[in-house]
Amino acid sequence: MRCCAIILYVVLGSFLCSAECPSGCQCFEASTTVQCDSLDLRAVPDDIPGYTTYLVITGNFIARIGYDSFKLLDNVTDLILSNNWITEVGSHTFSTLTMLRSLNLNGNQLALIHPEAFTVSGSPLQELSLSNSLYNHTSLTDLITAFRWGGLGSLRSLDLSGNSLLLLPPGMFSPLPSLKHLRLANNSLVAVYNSTFSGVELLEELDLTGNRFTAFSGEGLRELERLGKARLLLGHNPYTCTCGMEEFATWLNSSKVRVGDAEKLRCAFPGQLQHVAVQTLTAKVLLGCDHRGERVMEEVDDLSLQTSYVFLGLVCGFVGMVFCFVLYLNRKGIKKWVVEMRDACQDMMEGYQYRYEIDSDPRLRHISTNGKLEQTNRHDADRQIPTKSSTTQIPADVAV
């Protein structure tokens, strides 16, 4: 009897737990986890169990999240909202999640982020992941404003990889003084400037792999040097190994900053140095410079430029030959057209000259006027006197 009671209690408990779970979601009370994956949801379910600490909602179509999206979920510490096509994060969206430690918004289309979107009382958030989630440059501007207004003083890890970032504004990360891990991989960054990483002196790891860096200027190297405690990842960038690379190669071997993937830094250009390790390019001869500092690579570039000019000359010569050949085939028609144009111009000039002579000589003008008058009188007389051929014939049998 006691065994049956235990079984009944277990079954009843399972039924009650399943009744509390949102439709289609999976709830695990033992691990306090709720998963709602690919359910075509249009909003966050409002009947999520209050015991939930680990909430996963992915692969849905939730366009907007706001203040009323996560009510009565005080125990949530980890929130994953990846790949939901979220375009807007409203003001104080996560303010009710007072225990929130980790927030994942990867794979969304964030076009509008309100200034106080990440504001939570007590600033508990420590990890924020926004990989492949910023829709455009305006989204980056909104995010920077949210950093300043969000009270993220406790944030330790930030992932902005895969967002096609071209430029990091100075002081962008200064509102995040506790930041230790910053991931900026797989963007389109081309340079590091002064104050790019100001305010994050506690940074332990900076990932800049997979960007568009061809080299680092002196200004950029000094900025990286400020991150003395950080471990840098600089691999998988298209480094151009010319004479200007000497400063970076020297810094790479002598800097206090630890480059964790220094052996993966390879030359992408020029061709003769492709795949050569940047660390081995400290000697000027390997950089393509002679003992006087002249650039051998520039001579190679000049030779390539001369070759291009020769090729351009050949192309222009060929086009000229084709043009002359076309003219030769149409020489008769062209000759006829030229003769006709010449005759037309000659007739026109003769007409202008004749008119000018008449208008400029008074005697010719008088003769011309009299001649026109005589012709007019003669024409009127001809109209008044009938000709012989126009005389009316009278029949002979008509009596007079």
What are 308-356's pLDDT values in tens digits? 778 788 889 889 888 888 888 888 888 888 888 888 888 888 787 777 7
Q: What is the mean pLDDT of residues 44-72?
A: 95
Residue 125 three-state SS: coil
What pLDDT is attached to residue 307?
75
Backbone phi and psi for residue 54, each to the nearest 5 degrees, phi listed first: -120, 105
Token duo for residue 248: 């970076």
pLDDT band at 73 (very low <50, low <70, confident <90, very high): very high
Comparing 392 with 213, the larger pLDDT belongs to: 213
In angstroms, the CA 165 to CA 168 distance is 7
In angstroms, the CA 353 to CA 369 distance is 19
Bridge partner list, 258: 231
In the chain, DSSP finds a helix count (H) and a strand count (E) of 8, 16
Tens digits of per-residue pLDDT, 115-143?
A: 999 999 888 999 999 999 999 889 999 99
Backbone phi and psi for residue 55, each to the nearest 5 degrees, phi listed first: -115, 125
- Pairing type for strands 102-104 and 78-80 reads parallel
CB 245 within 8 A of CB 213: no
Q: 211-225, 316-330, 355-369 — which is least confidently predicted?
A: 355-369
In angstroms, the CA 253 to CA 250 distance is 5
Q: Cβ neighbours of residue 151 under 8 Å, at least 6 residues apart?
A: 118, 119, 120, 123
Residue with tokens 């010719």: 364
CB neighbourhood size of 142 (10 A): 21
In angstroms, the CA 147 to CA 318 distance is 62
What pLDDT is attached to residue 394?
45
pLDDT band at 184 (very low <50, low <70, confident <90, very high): very high
pLDDT band at 374 (very low <50, low <70, confident <90, very high): low
Q: Residue 96, Cα to own-chain centre: how many angstroms?
A: 37
pLDDT band at 366 (very low <50, low <70, confident <90, very high): low
Token duo for residue 194: 């002064």
Q: Where on the phi/psi map is residue 113: left (φ > 0), alpha (ψ -120 to 50), or beta?
A: beta
- Pairing type for strands 239-240 and 258-259 reads unpaired
In angstroms, the CA 330 to CA 324 distance is 10
CB 49 within 8 A of CB 72: no
In angstroms, the CA 272 to CA 275 distance is 9
pLDDT band at 391 (very low <50, low <70, confident <90, very high): very low
Q: Where are the beta strands (DSSP E) in the chain?
A: 26-28, 33-37, 54-58, 64-65, 78-80, 88-89, 102-104, 112-113, 127-129, 157-159, 181-183, 205-207, 231-233, 239-240, 258-259, 267-269
**CB half-sphere exposure, 263, CA atoms < 13 A:** 0
Domains located in the chain, CATH noted: 20-151 (3.80.10.10), 156-316 (3.80.10.10)
What pLDDT is attached to residue 378?
56
Tens digits of per-residue pLDDT, 25-46?
A: 999 999 999 999 999 999 999 9
Measured on CA atoms in the order 51, 56, 60, 64, is the torsion positive or negative?
A: positive
- Pairing type for strands 231-233 and 205-207 reads parallel
Residue with tokens 């037309």: 344
Tens digits of per-residue pLDDT, 376-386?
A: 555 555 554 45
**CB half-sphere exposure, 333, CA atoms < 13 A:** 5
In angstroms, the CA 129 to CA 185 distance is 13
Token duo for residue 337: 């057209």
